[in-house]
Amino acid sequence: MFDGLKNMAALPGLLAKAREMQGKMQSMQEELARKQVSAGAGGGMVQATVNGKMELVRLKIDKGRVDPTDTDLLEDLVVAAVNAAQAKAADMVREETQKLAGDLGLPPGMMGQ
């Protein structure tokens, strides 16, 4: 019976730690939304830029190197550039999440890495 009361005494500290973690996670997510990474395809013919929320924010096509009659190639290059940029953004998010978990003293894997 007294063990249960002892555990309840730790509850305010646990709640404060949870609020701290929540605040840091929100700050990290806001910071990641501002960060951008880019990747190209076709030797730079197509360049895609994605933010930390995995949103495509810019797509640049080098008009001087694109054959306007070969839309199939252009479509493939756009998909490849976007996928590559999203992969880089996912790596960035993973790294930031791992860093935050370490700062909070959480064991590896606790924040979905």
pLDDT recorded at residue 100: 81
Examine residue 18 and state whether it is found in any structural domain, yes or no: yes
Cβ–Cβ < 8 Å for 51, 33: yes
Examine residue 54 and state whether it is found in any structural domain, yes or no: yes
Distance, in Å, from the CA atom of 59 to the CA atom of 37, rounded to the nearest integer, reads: 12
Q: How does DSSP assign the chain, residue by residue?
A: -HHHHHHHHTHHHHHHHHHHHHHHHHHHHHHHHH-EEEEEETTTTEEEEEETTS-EEEEEE-GGG--TT-HHHHHHHHHHHHHHHHHHHHHHHHHHHHHHHHHTTPPTTTT--
pLDDT recorded at residue 104: 72
pLDDT recorded at residue 28: 82
pLDDT recorded at residue 2: 55
Q: In the chain, how many domains are there? A: 1
pLDDT recorded at residue 64: 93
pLDDT higher than threshold 90 for residue 112? no
Domain that holds residue 30: 2-103
pTM over 0.85: no
Distance, in Å, from the CA atom of 100 to the CA atom of 91, rounded to the nearest integer, reads: 14
Examine residue 113 and state whether it is found in any structural domain, yes or no: no
Examine residue 112 and state whether it is found in any structural domain, yes or no: no
pLDDT tens digit sequence for 83-95: 999 999 999 999 8
State the chain's maximal CA–CA distance in angstroms. 79
pLDDT recorded at residue 17: 75
pLDDT tens digit sequence for 15-30: 777 788 788 888 888 8
Q: What is the CATH number of the domain that holds 98?
A: 3.30.1310.10
What mean pLDDT is predicted for residues 27-39?
Answer: 91
Q: Tokens 């479509």, residue? A: 75
